[in-house]
């Protein structure tokens, strides 16, 4: 996916101005998801589940090299072919080789964010392949040529009317078609795709090191079809997606479903144990797992940021985030949006390429409370901001202002002088100023006026 | 009964913009049997620098405040966010400096937000009947709510004085202030304020323990010409004992 995270402030402002319906659609959908999550958490000992899941992922990450080798051995034992990709380009090469070796013409894709990260669709299309996204939301945004706006609900930014118009243009459905009718049209076309495709590409919610199990959870059945109908199944797996033991799956699957959509479990859970075996009537002839690093191992070595790698991509933090709700995911300018994107993207693409993202938060802390693996997102945001300062990536005027502030605030006489100066300003001076900070404040807010006398002045006058 | 000695840390924002709330806080604490002093030399807690990533500058300001408040028995602030700065973030700022860390921990353990102090330390849950019949919208500041876990304390005090807390679906959502966030991303910040205000039911006034949120919301209310008075929590609690 094209990286434009440095454009976040402008893109967010423009979207709010020009497409107010996005704010409405995203706010409605995320509030709904978030309420369901809260209910689903309340049904169980969510706090204990979260702490346990955090512990399992921490353990995994501390021993990741060993678990990756164990996973490779288990997968091979199951007859799965294992590939390693250090960078996006390596993963692209591997997928292209598999496709070429089997003369693939059509690829069906189950929803995978990693594939967005790797820029797989444009690559496959450049090789002359037909690429069909089969998650309904992904199918819709693929037609519109847009990237996902949300990790779980990629078309969350679209309202029903926009989808009706799109289907009307493409498939001549009536403009007042019901969501069920629209889904039926998509289903028919997707079914044809599943039968035509030689290759299915998926991600993975989890890969179990102990048993080599590829675990996938969904609600539409498209992932099961995409991973079982075509001759080839290729699973793209970030190296942090492992779980140590098979028995870890039960809580992780349910916790992820609760966090993501408020379900106790996704409607379909596929546990894939390798390709079709002799005597089995269906399933792919070959299963490939591509383990992708693409910046993850350097993130793991980062003492300030490694906890981001616990992420299970449930998007609970997006749903809980009042900042994300204003714009959806597009202004964030990279695959992952919302709070997790704001801390993960700088780690994956480098802070210089994602400078504004750690500031795309009011530090309200709702993300941390929602996160099923307790990633301390507010602390990580602060840590990225600190790093921006250390690396000289913040505006010079800001750095100077903060230094001036710290100078004055460590000198009580200077603070008192500022207190007096503030009261000598003419009335409404703070509302009509050329100072950029105050201008940004007063553009949408009125009536900023100091108390006639400060508390300190009142105290010293003996009036308290 | 021994007098409880309280040092008020007014916080720069309340000092400059909500001086009367500081006065109300002092009178209320005195009414509840506290001896209140105002340690001289206090300025800002350092949060603007901390949140913006300028930790060296934040440490300098924090160290100054540590010195100002060191002798206090209890430190009380009319602000949830600045309380969080002293209580949670000061120790984090000094995690690699053992001596300052110990001083920060000591300050942390005696620092309270006003309503929290009244309920938890003074053990007072009823404050007279001065808010009888008032319909109040309570905005939970994010730091007080999610970092310090304060939810019931202010509500208990307001209700005990006869106020009705209106049912506000977005009461616990961020208002979009966020310090420098409000001017770095003003459009997003205002969108968040509007979401708060658009879901607000009929109320006599809007209150919060956090002056930053109130300045931001009051500014937005005035800009949109909505008719809703803003009152800092301390002022309402003082009215409660009248």
- State the Cα–Cα distance between residues A314 and A205, nearest whole angstrom: 9
pLDDT band at B1 (very low <50, low <70, confident <90, very high): low
- State the Cα–Cα distance between residues B110 and B130, nearest whole angstrom: 29
Residues B8 and B112 both lie in one domain: yes
Residue among A17, A323, A389 minimizing CB distance to B53: A389
Residues A262 and A115 both lie in one domain: yes
The residue to which tokens 């949670």 are assigned:
B88
DSSP A228-275: HSSSEEEEEEEGGGEES-GGGHHHHHHHHHHHHHS-SS-SEEEEE-SS
- State the Cα–Cα distance between residues B32 and A94, nearest whole angstrom: 73
Question: What per-residue confidence (pLDDT) applies to A428?
Answer: 74
Residues B12 and B111 both lie in one domain: yes
List, in sequence order, every residue forming a beta bridge with B207; answer none if it has no partner. Answer: B138, B231
For residue A385, being part of any structural domain is answered with no
Nearest-Cα distance to chain A for B226, in Å, is: 12
Please tell me which residue of chain A has the smallest CA distance to B24. A464
pLDDT digits (tens, 9 = 90+) for B155-189: 999 999 999 999 999 999 999 999 999 999 999 99
Residue among A406, A410, A446 minimizing CB distance to B223: A446
Range of the domain at B160: 135-240
Report helix, strand or coil for A32: helix
Residue among A388, A441, A455 minimizing CB distance to B23: A455
pLDDT digits (tens, 9 = 90+) for A191-221: 999 999 999 999 999 999 999 999 999 999 9
Segment B24-45 shows an average pLDDT of 98
Residues of B in contact with A327 (CB under 8 A): 188
pLDDT band at B202 (very low <50, low <70, confident <90, very high): very high
φ, ψ for residue A67 (rounded to 5)? -65, -30
- State the Cα–Cα distance between residues B141 and B201, nearest whole angstrom: 18
Q: Which of A162, A167, A185 is nearest to A25 (CA)?
A: A162
Q: Do B181 and A410 touch (CB under 8 A)?
A: no
For residue A14, being part of any structural domain is answered with yes
Residues B21 and B115 both lie in one domain: yes
Residue among B49, B188, B223 minimizing CB distance to A402: B49
For residue B129, being part of any structural domain is answered with no
Residues of B in contact with A24 (CB under 8 A): none
Judge whether B138 and B200 are in contact, CB under 8 Å.
Answer: no
For residue A188, being part of any structural domain is answered with no
The residue to which tokens 């430190």 are assigned:
B75
Q: Of A296, A329, A348, which marks where a domain is finished?
A: A296
Structure tokens at A200: 């299915």
Question: What per-residue confidence (pLDDT) applies to A235?
Answer: 98
Which residues are CB-contacts of A84 (< 8 A; sequence separation ≥ 6)?
A90, A290, A291, A293
Residues B9 and B115 both lie in one domain: yes
Residues B116 and B180 both lie in one domain: no
Nearest-Cα distance to chain B for A388, in Å, is: 7
A218-221: list long-range contacts, CB under 8 Å, 24+ apart: A218/A110, A218/A111, A218/A135, A218/A266, A218/A267, A218/A268, A218/A270, A219/A261, A219/A263, A219/A266, A219/A267, A219/A268, A220/A134, A220/A135, A220/A136, A220/A267, A220/A268, A221/A267, A221/A268
For residue A327, being part of any structural domain is answered with no
CA atoms within 13 A on the CB side of A432: 5
For residue A395, being part of any structural domain is answered with no
ipTM (interface pTM): 0.97
Q: Which of B52, B5, B12, B76 is nearest to A362 (CA)?
A: B52
For residue B88, being part of any structural domain is answered with yes
How many domains is chain A partitioned into structurally?
2
Neighbours of B157 (CB within 10 A): 26
Judge whether A272 and A208 are in contact, CB under 8 Å.
Answer: no
- State the Cα–Cα distance between residues A39 and A320, nearest whole angstrom: 13
pLDDT band at B2 (very low <50, low <70, confident <90, very high): low
Report helix, strand or coil for A301: coil
Residues B83 and B31 both lie in one domain: yes
Q: Of A278, A296, A314, which marks where a domain is finished?
A: A296
Q: Which letter does DSSP use for residue A410 in this model?
A: T
* Mean per-residue pLDDT of chain B: 97
Residues A144 and A19 both lie in one domain: yes
Residues of A in contact with B213 (CB under 8 A): none
Which residues are CB-contacts of A418 (< 8 A; sequence separation ≥ 6)?
A408
Which residues are CB-contacts of A327 (< 8 A; sequence separation ≥ 6)?
A11, A12, A15, A16, A22, A23, A26, B188
For residue A331, being part of any structural domain is answered with no
Residues B235 and B173 both lie in one domain: yes
Nearest-Cα distance to chain A for B66, in Å, is: 11
Q: How far does CA A209 lie from the centroid of its chain? A: 24
- State the Cα–Cα distance between residues A34 and A317, nearest whole angstrom: 9
For residue B222, being part of any structural domain is answered with yes
Residues B149 and B100 both lie in one domain: no
Whether B100 has a pLDDT exceeding 80, the answer reads yes
The residue to which tokens 């002798």 are assigned:
B71
Q: Of B67, B92, B121, which marks where a domain is finished?
A: B121
For residue B130, being part of any structural domain is answered with no
Residues B48 and B150 both lie in one domain: no
Whether B83 has a pLDDT exceeding 90, the answer reads yes
Report helix, strand or coil for A287: strand
Question: What per-residue confidence (pLDDT) applies to A427?
Answer: 76
Q: Of B121, B143, B169, which marks where a domain is finished?
A: B121
Residues B114 and B35 both lie in one domain: yes
Structure tokens at A379: 């602390």
% residues pLDDT > 90 (chain B): 98
Neighbours of A400 (CB within 10 A): 10
φ, ψ for residue A130 (rounded to 5)? -85, 125
Question: What per-residue confidence (pLDDT) applies to A248?
Answer: 98
Structure tokens at B30: 């005195």
For residue A180, being part of any structural domain is answered with no
Question: What per-residue confidence (pLDDT) applies to A431?
Answer: 73
How many domains is chain B partitioned into structurally?
2
Q: Which of A30, A364, A407, A450 to mutate to test the interface with B (most CBs of B within 10 A)?
A: A364
Q: Which of B194, B176, B175 is nearest to B185 (CA)?
A: B176
- Longest CA–CA span in chain A (Å) reads 94
- State the Cα–Cα distance between residues A94 and A108, nearest whole angstrom: 17
Low-confidence ranges of chain A (pLDDT < 50): none
Q: What does chain A come to in residues? A: 464
CATH number at residue A43: 3.40.50.10420
* Helical (H) or strand (E) element with A84: strand A81-85
- State the Cα–Cα distance between residues B88 and B147, nearest whole angstrom: 8
- State the Cα–Cα distance between residues A361 and A337, nearest whole angstrom: 12
The residue to which tokens 């003082």 are assigned:
B238
Structure tokens at B225: 């010409």
Structure tokens at A343: 């801390």
Please tell me which residue of chain A has the smallest CA distance to B18. A451
Please tell me which residue of chain B has the smallest CA distance to A320. B173
Q: Of A281, A296, A311, which marks where a domain is finished?
A: A296
Whether B125 has a pLDDT exceeding 60, the answer reads yes
Residues B159 and B51 both lie in one domain: no
Range of the domain at A249: 5-158+198-296
* Helical (H) or strand (E) element with B77: strand B74-77
Judge whether A159 and A21 are in contact, CB under 8 Å.
Answer: yes
For residue A78, being part of any structural domain is answered with yes
Which residues are CB-contacts of A439 (< 8 A; sequence separation ≥ 6)?
A433
Judge whether A198 and A230 are in contact, CB under 8 Å.
Answer: yes
Q: Which of B159, B86, B77, B160 is nearest to B116 (CA)?
A: B77
Q: Which letter does DSSP use for residue A342 in this model?
A: H
For residue B128, being part of any structural domain is answered with no
φ, ψ for residue A452 (rounded to 5)? -50, -45
pTM of the model: 0.96
Q: How far does CA A148 lie from the centroid of its chain? A: 9
**What are the Cα distances from residue A179, in Å, to A168, A185, B112, B151, B176?**
13, 10, 53, 41, 34
* Helical (H) or strand (E) element with B5: strand B4-8
- State the Cα–Cα distance between residues A296 and A208, nearest whole angstrom: 18
Nearest-Cα distance to chain A for B17, in Å, is: 5
Segment B68-95 shows an average pLDDT of 98
Neighbours of A145 (CB within 10 A): 6
CA atoms within 13 A on the CB side of B35: 7
Judge whether A423 and A451 are in contact, CB under 8 Å.
Answer: no
- State the Cα–Cα distance between residues A379 and B138, nearest whole angstrom: 27
Question: What per-residue confidence (pLDDT) applies to B187?
Answer: 97
Residue among A385, A389, A412 minimizing CB distance to B43: A412
CATH number at residue B100: 3.40.50
Whether B14 has a pLDDT exceeding 90, the answer reads yes
Q: Of B121, B145, B180, which marks where a domain is finished?
A: B121
Residues B12 and B103 both lie in one domain: yes
């Amino acid at each position: 996916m094209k990286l434009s995270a440095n454009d976040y402030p402008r893109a967010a402002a423009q979207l709010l101005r020009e497409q107010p319906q996005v704010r409405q659609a995203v706010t409605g959908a995320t509030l709904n998801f978030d309420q369901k999550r809260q209910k689903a958490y309340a049904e169980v000992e969510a706090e204990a589940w979260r702490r346990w899941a955090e512990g399992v992922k921490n353990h995994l990450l501390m021993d990741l090299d060993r678990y990756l080798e164990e996973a490779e051995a288990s997968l091979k034992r199951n007859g799965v072919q294992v590939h390693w990709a250090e960078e996006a380009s390596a993963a692209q090469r591997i997928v292209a080789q598999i496709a070429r070796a089997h003369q693939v013409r059509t690829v069906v894709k189950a929803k995978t964010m990693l594939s967005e990260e790797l820029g797989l669709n444009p690559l496959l299309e450049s090789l002359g392949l037909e690429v069909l996204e089969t998650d309904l939301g992904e199918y819709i945004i693929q037609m519109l040529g847009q990237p996902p706006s949300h990790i779980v609900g990629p078309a969350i930014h679209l309202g029903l009317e926009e989808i009706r118009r799109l289907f009307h243009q493409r498939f001549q459905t009536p403009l007042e078609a019901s969501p069920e009718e629209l889904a039926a049209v998509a289903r028919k076309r997707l079914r044809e795709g599943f039968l035509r495709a030689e290759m299915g590409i998926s991600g993975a919610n989890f890969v179990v090191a102990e048993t080599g199990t590829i675990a996938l959870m969904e609600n539409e059945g498209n992932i099961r079809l995409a991973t079982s109908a075509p001759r080839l199944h290729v699973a793209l797996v970030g190296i942090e997606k492992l779980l140590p033991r098979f028995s870890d799956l039960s809580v992780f699957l349910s916790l992820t479903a609760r966090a993501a959509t408020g379900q106790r479990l996704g409607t379909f859970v596929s546990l894939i144990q390798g390709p079709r075996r002799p005597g089995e009537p269906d399933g792919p002839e070959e299963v490939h797992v591509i383990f992708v690093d693409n910046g993850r191992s350097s993130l793991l070595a980062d003492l300030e940021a490694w906890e981001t790698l616990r992420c299970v991509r449930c998007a609970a933090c997006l749903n809980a985030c009042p900042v994300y709700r204003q714009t959806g995911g597009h202004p964030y300018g990279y695959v992952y949006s919302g709070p997790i994107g704001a801390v993960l993207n700088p780690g994956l693409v480098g802070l210089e390429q994602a400078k504004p993202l750690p500031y795309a938060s009011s530090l309200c802390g709702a993300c941390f409370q929602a996160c099923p693996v307790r990633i301390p997102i507010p602390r990580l945001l602060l840590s990225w901001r600190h790093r921006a300062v250390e690396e000289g990536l913040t505006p010079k005027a800001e750095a100077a202002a903060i230094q001036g502030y710290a100078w004055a605030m460590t000198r009580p006489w200077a603070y008192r002088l500022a207190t007096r100066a503030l009261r000598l300003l003419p009335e409404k001076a703070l509302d009509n100023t050329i100072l950029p900070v105050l201008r940004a404040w007063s553009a949408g807010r009125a009536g900023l006026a100091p108390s006639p006398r400060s508390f300190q002045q009142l105290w010293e006058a003996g009036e308290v | 009964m021994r007098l409880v000695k309280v040092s008020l840390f007014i916080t720069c924002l309340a000092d400059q913009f909500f001086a009367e709330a500081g006065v109300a806080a002092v009178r209320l604490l005195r009414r509840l049997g506290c001896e209140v002093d105002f340690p001289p030399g206090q300025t800002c807690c350092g949060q603007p620098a901390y949140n913006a990533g300028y930790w060296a500058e934040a440490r300098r300001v924090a160290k100054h405040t540590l010195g100002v408040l060191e002798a206090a028995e209890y430190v009380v602030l009319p602000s949830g966010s600045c309380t969080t700065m002293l209580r949670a973030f000061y120790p984090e700022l000094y995690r690699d400096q053992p001596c300052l860390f110990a001083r920060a921990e000591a300050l942390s353990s005696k620092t309270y937000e006003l309503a929290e102090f009244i309920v938890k330390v003074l053990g007072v849950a009823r404050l007279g009947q001065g808010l009888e019949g008032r319909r109040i919208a309570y905005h939970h500041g994010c730091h007080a709510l999610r970092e310090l876990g304060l939810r019931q304390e202010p509500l208990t005090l307001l209700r005990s004085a006869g106020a009705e807390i209106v049912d506000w679906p977005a009461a616990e959502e961020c208002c979009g202030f966020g310090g420098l966030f409000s001017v770095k991303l003003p459009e997003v910040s205002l969108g968040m304020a509007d979401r708060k205000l658009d879901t607000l039911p009929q109320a006599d006034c809007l209150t919060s323990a956090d002056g930053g949120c109130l300045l931001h919301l009051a500014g937005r209310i005035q800009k949109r010409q909505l008719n809703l008075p803003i009152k800092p929590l301390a002022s309402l609690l003082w009215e409660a004992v009248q």
